[in-house]
Structure 1
Amino acid sequence: MASWPYNTENWQRLRKRKLSLDPFCYPCSLRGRHVVASTVDHVKAIADGGPAFPALSGLMSMCARCHNEKTNALDRPDRHGSGRRFKGFDLAGNPIDPADAWHGGSDHHGEGSPAGPAPTSRTDILLNRGGKKWG
């Protein structure tokens, strides 16, 4: 286990509470999968000015695989990550990373748009190309 704050009783209680309230991996759920979470991650990294002990809404339940991918992509620039918080697409084919430009996000550490994709989705573009209905 890493050092402060992860080695404190406060963190262990916060982690246990988050996993009990949100037992499934958040990124996997965006992909339509139900994978049991084993890790709790800060939505805004401590290194980026996030609080060490945020409210539960400032934490995210994740499986080890998703946590490792997110950490390598964003928190370890020496590893030349993708810059995406979450890799993959939802069942409609849209990127699951809320900070993706598709959702109106502007940077890889931002929150993106909680409302989801812009009003014109990829499906709308394909079905209504140039004002003509397809299909």
Structure 2
Amino acid sequence: MSTYPYNTAAWQALRAAKLSADPLCEACIRREVVEQAKVVDHIIAIAKGGDPFPPLSGLMAMCEPCHNAKTNAVDHPNASGFRRALKGYDVDGNPIDPDGWEPAAFASRASTGLVPAGDTNKDLVLKLPNQEGELWV
């Protein structure tokens, strides 16, 4: 952390302000885990055009494991772009990543819930010999 802007007094003040405002890891909170934030992350990396000194809303307080996962998935120059920035799900089963699912990712797999999702229902039911099986178990 010895390169610009991290070696400036302005960054140290901004970092302290963010950690004071949000002392817990923002990614962990979305998973309902309480973890102390020790790192302040630029939501949009400086190398990708982000402001070196953004407002507090442009920063994210994170624990080291969450910061490392986000940096490797999104900010790193060799990042593929196919991994989620923030891993895990909230208590409702939704991804905690603010980008969530790609809007068209499952467009071809639309389901009305009236019929099985695939071509067959053999994995959905257990039909015993000489007995009728229910379509939905």
Aligned residues of 1:73 and 1:81 also touching (Cα < 8 A): yes
Residue in structure 1 matched with residue 29 of structure 2 by the alignment:
29
- Looking at CA atoms only, which structure, 1 or 2, has the larger radius of gyration? 2
Matches within 5 A, 1:1-135: 1-78=1-78, 82-101=82-101, 129-130=113-114
Identity of aligned residues (%): 51
Aligned-partner SS, 2:40: strand
Q: Any idea what the Cα deviations from partners look like across 1:60-103, whole Å, max 9, x if unmatched? A: 0000010001011112253657521101111111111011226x
* Unmatched tracts of structure 1, length 5 or more: 107-127, 131-135
| Counterpart residue identity of residue 62, structure 1 | M
Change (3 A) 1:77 1:21: same
Change (3 A) 1:13 1:26: same
Aligned residues of 1:26 and 1:61 also touching (Cα < 8 A): yes
Residue in structure 1 matched with residue 119 of structure 2 by the alignment:
none
| Counterpart residue identity of residue 113, structure 2 | R
RMSD: 2.8
Aligned residues of 2:48 and 2:75 also touching (Cα < 8 A): no
1: distance between equivalents of 2:51 and 2:91? 33
2: distance between equivalents of 1:79 and 1:56? 25
* Unmatched tracts of structure 2, length 5 or more: 106-111, 115-137
User: How many aligned residue pairs are there?
Assistant: 112
Change (3 A) 1:69 1:41: same
Residue in structure 2 matched with residue 117 of structure 1 by the alignment:
none
1: distance between equivalents of 2:113 and 2:104? 24
1: distance between equivalents of 2:104 and 2:98? 7
Change (3 A) 1:97 1:39: same
